[in-house]
């Protein structure tokens, strides 16, 4: 059985799309396809109308595991992509770019620390900087906040929103957290169970300036409620079934 | 202060051990052919001081050469097994089988194959006995590299070699040095095995053998202590290298 089938998804330039869906529905496969790490058995991935045939340097990625290199300092971790992607920046310019990003996410002053000296949230911030340092057009986030505690996670949503406003990127976020999807994204896509296709799409209602309180407005609550309902359908159990089980 | 402390603690421990050893022999009234005491060793060392220096050098350089060969071959085998699942499955039983053969039984075989090439034979045994942990640790280090580590570079279009050089190799260094510490001791065993089982007038093993033939028991004990000393020196050389190349893996005292 294919993991993804009949899946069609378009992300506008500099938009933020969140993809939610039940566990194991193929969300991570989708990110690996878009990043060019996997080739689709059939169908196409297009970037500016050009098919994606392999990895390309205009993509940045961040995962649930921040995968920082323990033998490098924080700033050397962030600079890593600039050592791979062809560019004509000098060493000083690379450090300058990394330093700016680190300051933006609140890690100014931690440049020369080792990853093991940082908390989980700080490591994830550094990981976001690394994903953005080479100015990618597309940022792929595969549950980057999934392993953090609730308050740290909310802090990072705000950091992510700041980064997104500063960096002119098209973002695709994979998440299990509906509030996260509503807070960060302009468009929330619900995937069905396997084989996954787009089951539901909602336009996010939050403006350019976002505060956590915005999640508690009636509109946001309605949207969350609708998404919750869609997830239950994707999981293969509608609310009616649940009532049947409990009686 | 910190350095003084780091020297003082192990030195005191060694001194206490020597005193206890001396006491043990004295209390039991053992003659030196049952167990020599530290005070018997001093004259033994003094009497054969020139031989100790010369033979220690024989043992040391051949051990280091064998160890060097182990690092090269062990790393190569480890890389082959770490990157290819097929090769891992193919080579594992062979390696385990080879490692299970007692090297004492291999010594005469090697000595027969390369008659007279004593240095090479000794180095070969030191190598054979010590490459296994290195090969295994490198292969495990490489094959257990989390896919995300590969993906962060692969997504940028990095080549396989770049991924190996920037990520896989440094990430495997702590495991490598862990194995090297085991291999150091094993390589010494290998060198001495050759020197004792097929004596050829070289190395501390030969001195041990002479002590046995001449019933010079303090000399035999003195050789054991000299071997322990060389082992400690080489071990700390590896620890020093580990600090330089994989010091990042050590957590601070918090």
With a CB cutoff of 8 Å and minimum separation 6, the contacts of A103 are none
Maximal CA-CA distance, chain A: 69
- CB spacing of A71 vs B166 below 8 angstroms: no
The pLDDT assigned to A3 comes to 77
Residue A245 is predicted with a pLDDT of 43
List the Cα angle A66/A72/A74 in 5-degree steps.
60
> In chain A, what residues touch B167 (CB-CB under 8 Å)?
69
The ranges assigned to domains in chain A are 1-6+13-23+176-247, 59-137+162-167
A86 interaction partners in chain B (CB closer than 8 Å): none
Of B198, B84, B77, residue with least CA distance to B127: B77
The CATH number given to B40-249 is 1.10.3720.10
Contact indicator for A132, A60 with CB cutoff of 8 Å: yes
**In which region does residue A106 sit, left (phi positive, over 0), alpha (psi from -120 to 50) or beta (all else)?**
left
Confidence band, pLDDT 50/70/90 cuts, at residue A205: low
Instruction: Report d(CA A187, CA B105) in Å as an integer.
Output: 72
Average pLDDT value for residue range A22-40 = 82
Query: Do A15 and A186 form a contact (C-beta atoms < 8 A)?
Result: yes
Distance (Å, whole) CA B147 – CA B14: 47
Instruction: Name the nearest CA neighbour of A30 among A143, A159, A153, A169.
Output: A143
> Which residues of B have a CB under 8 Å from any CB of A?
146, 148-149, 151-158, 162, 166-167, 170-171, 173, 246, 248-249, 251-252
Q: B177 CA to chain A: closest CA distance, Å?
A: 15
**What DSSP string runs through A36-77?**
TSS--SSS--EETTEE--S--TTEEEEESS----TTS-HHHH
Reading the block at residue A190, the tokens are 């619900």
* Residue A239 pLDDT: 55
The beta-carbon neighbor of B248 closest among A83, A114, A130 is A114
Nearest CA in chain B to A28: B148
- Are the C-beta atoms of residues B52 and B59 closer than 8 Å to each other? no
Residues of B within 8 A of A135 (CB-CB) are none
* Closest by Cα among A2, A60, A58, A4 to A27: A4
As a whole number of angstroms, the distance between CA A158 and CA A57 comes to 26
Residues of B in contact with A37 (CB under 8 A): 151, 154-155
Taking residues A192-209, report their average pLDDT: 75
Q: What is the pLDDT of residues A158-167, one digit of tens each?
A: 888 888 888 8
Taking the C-alpha atoms of residue A62 and residue A103, their distance in angstroms, rounded to an integer, is 18
Read off the pTM.
Answer: 0.77
Interface mutation vs chain B, best among A52, A67, A83, A141, most B CBs within 10 Å: A67
Q: Which of A58, A69, A134 to mutate to test the interface with B (most CBs of B within 10 A)?
A: A69
Highest mean pLDDT among A191-195, A209-213, B223-227: B223-227
Can you give B164-197 as a three-state secondary structure string? HHHHHHHHHHHHHHHHHHHHHHHHHHHHHHHHHH
**Cα separations (Å) of B108 from A77, B111, B171, B194?**
53, 5, 40, 9
Q: Which residues pair with A202 in a beta bridge?
A: A188
Q: Is the pLDDT of residue A26 over 70?
A: yes
> ∠ at Cα B96 (B204, B61), nearest 5°?
25
Q: A78-124 pLDDT, tens per residue?
A: 999 998 888 888 888 899 989 988 988 888 888 889 998 898 888 98
Contact state of A63 with B148 under an 8 Å Cβ cutoff: yes
Sequence-ordered list of residues with C-beta below 8 angstroms from that of B28, at least 6 positions apart, any chain: none
* B248, closest residue in chain A (CA to CA): A71
pLDDT tens track, chain B, 254 positions: 688 888 899 899 999 999 999 999 999 988 888 888 888 888 888 898 999 999 999 999 999 999 999 999 999 999 999 888 899 999 999 999 999 999 888 988 888 888 788 889 999 999 999 999 999 999 998 888 888 888 888 888 888 888 888 888 898 999 999 999 999 999 999 999 999 888 888 899 999 999 989 988 899 999 999 999 999 999 999 999 999 888 887 765 44
Pairwise CA distance, residues A115 & A120, whole Å: 9
SS3 state at A205: coil
Distances (CA, A) of B74 to B40, B168, B169, B241: 41, 16, 14, 18
A54-85 pLDDT per residue, tens: 888 888 888 888 889 989 999 999 999 998 88
What is the predicted pLDDT for the residue at B94?
A: 94
Structure tokens at B104: 């004492």
Contact: A57, B154; criterion CB under 8 Å: no
Distance of CA A206 to the CA centre of its chain: 17
Using pLDDT thresholds of 50, 70 and 90, give the confidence band for residue A247: very low
What's the pLDDT score for residue A244? 42
Q: What is the mean pLDDT of residues A23-49?
A: 82
Contact B249, A69 (CB under 8 A): no
A128, A134, A140, A145 alpha-carbon torsion, rounded to 10°: 0
Q: Give yes or no for residue A15 having a pLDDT over 50.
A: yes
Mean pLDDT along residues A214-238: 80
Give the pLDDT mean for A116-143.
89
Q: What pLDDT is attached to residue A159?
A: 86
Beta strand residue intervals within A93-169, DSSP E: 138-142
| pLDDT in the model for residue B1 | 65
Task: Measure the CA–CA gap between B245 and B177, rounded to whole angstroms.
Answer: 9
Min Cα separation A242/chain B (Å): 37
Contact A84 B170 (CB under 8 A): no
CA terminus-to-terminus distance, chain A: 34
Nearest to A56 among B152, B157, B173 (CB): B157
pLDDT of residue B183: 95
Q: Average pLDDT, whole number, for chain A? A: 83
- The separation between CA A112 and the C-alpha centre of its own chain, rounded to angstroms, equals 26
Q: Confidence class of residue A149 from pLDDT cuts 50, 70 and 90?
A: confident
- Answer yes or no: is pLDDT of A16 > 80: yes
Beta bridge partners, A180, equal none
Task: Tally Cβ neighbours within 10 Å of residue A3.
Answer: 18
Question: Are A139 and A108 contacting, i.e. CB atoms less than 8 angstroms apart?
Answer: no
Q: Which residues contact A195 (CB under 8 A, 6 or more apart)?
A: A1, A2, A3, A4, A5, A6, A26
What fold characterizes domain A59-137+162-167? Rossmann fold (3.40.50)
Q: How high is the pLDDT of residue B229?
A: 92
| Contact present, A177 and A157 (Cβ < 8 Å) | no
Bridge-partner residues for A78, per DSSP? none
CA-based angle A171:A173:A179, to the nearest 5?
120
């Amino acid at each position: 059985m294919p993991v993804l089938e009949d899946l069609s998804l378009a992300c506008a330039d500099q938009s933020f799309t969140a993809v939610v869906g039940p566990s194991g529905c193929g969300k991570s496969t989708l990110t690996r396809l878009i990043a060019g790490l996997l080739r689709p058995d059939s169908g196409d991935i297009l970037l500016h109308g050009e098919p994606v045939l392999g990895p390309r340097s205009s993509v940045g990625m961040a995962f649930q595991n921040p995968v920082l290199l323990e033998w490098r300092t924080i700033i050397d971790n962030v600079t890593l992509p600039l050592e791979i992607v062809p560019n004509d920046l000098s060493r000083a310019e690379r450090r300058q770019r990394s330093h700016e990003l680190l300051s933006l996410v609140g890690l100014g002053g931690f440049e020369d620390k080792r990853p093991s000296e940082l908390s989980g949230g700080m490591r994830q911030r550094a990981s976001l900087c690394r994903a953005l340092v080479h100015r990618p057009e597309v940022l792929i986030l595969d549950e980057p906040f999934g392993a953090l505690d609730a308050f740290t996670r909310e802090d990072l949503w705000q950091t992510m929103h700041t980064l997104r406003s500063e960096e002119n990127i098209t973002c695709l976020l994979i998440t299990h957290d509906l509030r996260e999807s509503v807070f960060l994204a302009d468009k929330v896509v619900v995937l069905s169970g396997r084989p996954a296709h787009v089951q539901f799409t909602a336009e996010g209602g939050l403006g350019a300036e976002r505060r956590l309180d915005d999640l508690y407005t009636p509109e946001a609550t309605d949207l969350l409620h609708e998404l919750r309902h869609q997830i239950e359908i994707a999981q293969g159990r509608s609310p009616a079934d649940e009532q049947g089980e409990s009686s | 202060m910190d350095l003084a402390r780091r020297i003082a603690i192990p030195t005191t421990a060694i001194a206490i051990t020597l005193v206890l050893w001396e006491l043990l022999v004295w209390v039991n009234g053992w003659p030196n052919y049952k167990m020599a005491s530290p005070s018997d060793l001093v004259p033994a060392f003094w009497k054969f001081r020139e031989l100790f220096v010369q033979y220690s050098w024989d043992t040391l350089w051949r051990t280091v050469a064998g160890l060097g060969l182990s690092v090269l071959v062990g790393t190569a085998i480890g890389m082959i097994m770490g990157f290819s699942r097929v090769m891992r499955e193919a080579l594992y039983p062979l390696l385990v089988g080879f490692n299970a053969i007692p090297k004492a039984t291999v010594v005469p075989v090697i000595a027969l194959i390369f008659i007279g090439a004593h240095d090479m034979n000794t180095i070969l045994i030191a190598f054979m006995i010590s490459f296994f942990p290195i090969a295994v640790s490198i292969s495990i280090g490489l094959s257990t590299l989390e896919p995300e580590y590969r993906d962060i570079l692969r997504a940028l279009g990095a080549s396989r070699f770049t991924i190996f050089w920037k990520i896989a190799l440094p990430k495997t260094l702590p495991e490598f040095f862990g194995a090297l510490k085991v291999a150091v001791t094993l390589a010494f065993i290998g060198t001495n095995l050759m020197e004792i089982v097929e004596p050829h007038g070289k190395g501390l093993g030969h001195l041990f053998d002479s002590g046995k033939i001449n019933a010079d028991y303090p000399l035999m004990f003195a050789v054991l202590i000299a071997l322990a000393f060389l082992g400690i020196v080489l071990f700390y050389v590896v620890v020093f290298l580990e600090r330089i190349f994989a010091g990042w893996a050590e957590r601070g005292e918090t």
